[in-house]
Amino acid sequence: MKINDLDPLMPYQPKENRYESMKFRRCGKSGLDLPLISLGLWHNFGHSDDFRNARSILRTAFDLGITHFDLANNYGPPYGAAEENFGRIFHKDFKPLRDELLISSKAGWDMWPGPYGNFGSKKYLVASLDQSLRRMGLDYVDIFYHHRPDPDTPLEETMAALDLIVRQGKALYVGISQYNAADTARASKLLKDMGTPCLIHQPRYSMMDRWVEEGLLDVLDTEGIGAIAFSPLEQGILTNKYLKGFPEDSRAVRDGRYLQTDKITPELLSTVEQLNALAENRGQSLAQMAIAWLLKDPRITSVLVGVSKAEQLKDNVNSLQALDFSEQELKKIEELLQA
């Protein structure tokens, strides 16, 4: 990251009215409220990114009432870079505000070489969180997730590791990500039996990626588990970004790991164009409508957005001004998505 220790940004003074534009929703059957919009640091916080821009994004987020910052051990590049850079910004700008923040991290994907740096063993999860806390300069995280299911480690061991982490005081709450409905129900029971309820599930979910509707959302509702949806804009497809070609600063051009240009077909663009027209009729951008569409379901506690510019956050938060859909709008959206 292009770091300048004499960063020209002025000392941070958060806006006094920062909570006026944000809405909050209770996370499952817990005492915790989450902002309807949360900020993910998956992209744009690595060592190759601009430190001043990253700092501006975080400041803008908090000024808009976004209190939840979401990380993972391997966010970067390189692995660990996002946590390191977040830690620098936290200590510059947010340390006195720690009790107003929800900071989460995760482990479950590859992090370091050898048999102990991946998946879901107690060895890996405990060591990984210790490393994350050192990188960020924190005593604890508010939420710690197991980042993905591990088919080769007993679920009992993975959930016992999460329970241990809470009892050690390294996390206040625990959650899981990308677990299917059946494994989520099993994980929830195990954690409840240990006295550490599963607070939240972080699934990939958007208008164009609906797998959570096949049982998972019902399990979350039954078990009293919150949900925070990531990739709500389908890596930028559910915006007007690609309607006139491929911008040089777009994710499809800059980083083909998560979105390939050949996936953005004429048929897909036709659907996006019609969705965009529907959003305009609602007085929203397509991105705003896509976020509002997720939040229409009360089982979705929060939507996790990632941005490359602070201005995009303001657009995202403005989606909260129109969360209601008419039956005709919902029917039209389904027709377009199934065409």
- Those residues whose C-beta lies under 8 Å from the C-beta of residue 334, and which sit 6 or more positions away, are none
Asked whether the predicted pLDDT for residue 255 surpasses 70, the reply is no
What was the pLDDT predicted at 324?
97
For residues 128-157, average pLDDT: 98
Asked whether the predicted pLDDT for residue 254 surpasses 60, the reply is no
For residues 197-220, average pLDDT: 98
State the average pLDDT for the chain. Answer: 94
Residue matched to tokens 């107690």: 122
Asked whether the predicted pLDDT for residue 168 surpasses 90, the reply is yes
Q: Kindly list the domain boundaries of the chain, sorted by start residue.
A: 33-338
- Model confidence band, residue 259 (pLDDT cutoffs 50, 70, 90): low
Listed range (110-114, 126-130, 259-263, 326-330) with the worst mean pLDDT? 259-263
Tokens of 57: 């994004």
What was the pLDDT predicted at 258?
55
- Model confidence band, residue 253 (pLDDT cutoffs 50, 70, 90): very low
Tens digit of each residue's pLDDT (9 = 90 or more) over 272-295 = 999 999 999 999 999 999 999 999
Between residues 248 and 68, the one the model is more confident about: 68
To the nearest 10°, the Cα dihedral for 337, 324, 21, 198?
-70
CA distances from 76 to 20, 45, 225 (A): 32, 6, 29
Tokens of 243: 């309607």
Asked whether the predicted pLDDT for residue 197 surpasses 90, the reply is yes
Per-position DSSP letters for 96-118, written without gaps between them: GGGGG-EEEEEE-S--SSSTTSS
CA distances from 94 to 15, 137, 263, 302, 307 (A): 13, 12, 40, 22, 19
Cα dihedral 147, 288, 55, 94 sign: negative
For residues 21-43, average pLDDT: 97
Fold classification of 33-338 (topology level): TIM Barrel (3.20.20)
What CA–CA distance (Å, rounded) separates 225 from 176?
Answer: 10
Peptide bond into 232 cis (omega under 30): no
What was the pLDDT predicted at 7?
60
pTM: predicted TM-score of the whole model, two decimal places: 0.93
DSSP state of 16: T
CA max distance for the chain: 54
- Model confidence band, residue 250 (pLDDT cutoffs 50, 70, 90): low
- Model confidence band, residue 1 (pLDDT cutoffs 50, 70, 90): low
Asked whether the predicted pLDDT for residue 5 surpasses 50, the reply is no
Taking a C-beta distance cutoff of 8 angstroms, is the pair 307, 56 a contact?
A: no
